[in-house]
Amino acid sequence: MQHVSFIRMDEGTAEDYAFLNALEDEFVVALPDRLLAALASLKDSLAGYQINRLEHSLQSATRAEADGADIELIVGALIHDLGDDLAPLNHSQLAAAIIRPYVRAEVAWIIEHHGVFQMYYYGDAMGVDKNARDIYRDHVWFDSCEKFCRDWDQMAFDPDYPTKPLAHFESMLREIFTRPPFDPAIINPAS
């Protein structure tokens, strides 16, 4: 297997970085496959609920699609809890970081803030402030995030809901995650 010549980045050559860029391009192209595998692995999480985390994610996306949401919101609903396994205390931010380069800013904001908005539906029962979302009350996307949580996320724990399978959403996920980034500064902040 070919490797770069350096052991410190400041010693790399143009050839080294051309080689690495080609490998990075291949890695980026394979992102949809890794996301589908990560979603599939959610079937083993969310103990205690009547459905697992994969079913919750699929049901959220199914509800978004049934409600007439656009592809960006449907895929956002599909991956919104993808960070639960690795970032249980800030899963919303992790999921938002994953989708941010590929969708409009509104969708990334919704995914990033859905955790605090979701508390509205269970905060009292958990002894936390259910109205913590009110700090965003004047934000332009407050209503969009409220709808996301009210109509899709908090509703998506029903084992009898006719939920579409992951295969149904695969082409949508691939479409979103093979787009060029909306904002090149996200990938290269110096731009």
Q: What is the pLDDT of residues 122-156, one digit of tens each?
A: 999 999 999 999 999 999 999 999 999 999 999 99
What integer best gives the mean pLDDT of the chain? 93
- DSSP per-residue string spanning 47-100: TTSSS-HHHHHHHHHHHHHHTT--HHHHHHHHHTTTTTTT-TTSHHHHHHHHHG
Q: What's the pLDDT score for residue 47?
A: 81
| CATH level 3 topology of 12-181 | Hypothetical protein af1432 (1.10.3210)
- Is the pTM higher than 0.75? yes
Residue 123 identity (one-letter amino acid): G
Torsion of the alpha carbons at 68, 118, 155 and 157, rounded to the nearest 10:
130
Q: What's the pLDDT score for residue 182?
A: 75
Nearest Cα neighbor of 153 from 30, 57, 42 is 57
Residue 145: which residues within 8 A CB-CB, separation 6 or more? Answer: 109, 110, 113, 114, 117, 133, 136
Q: What's the pLDDT score for residue 185?
A: 56
Q: How many residues does the chain have?
A: 191
Q: What is the pLDDT of residues 86-98, one digit of tens each?
A: 898 999 999 999 9
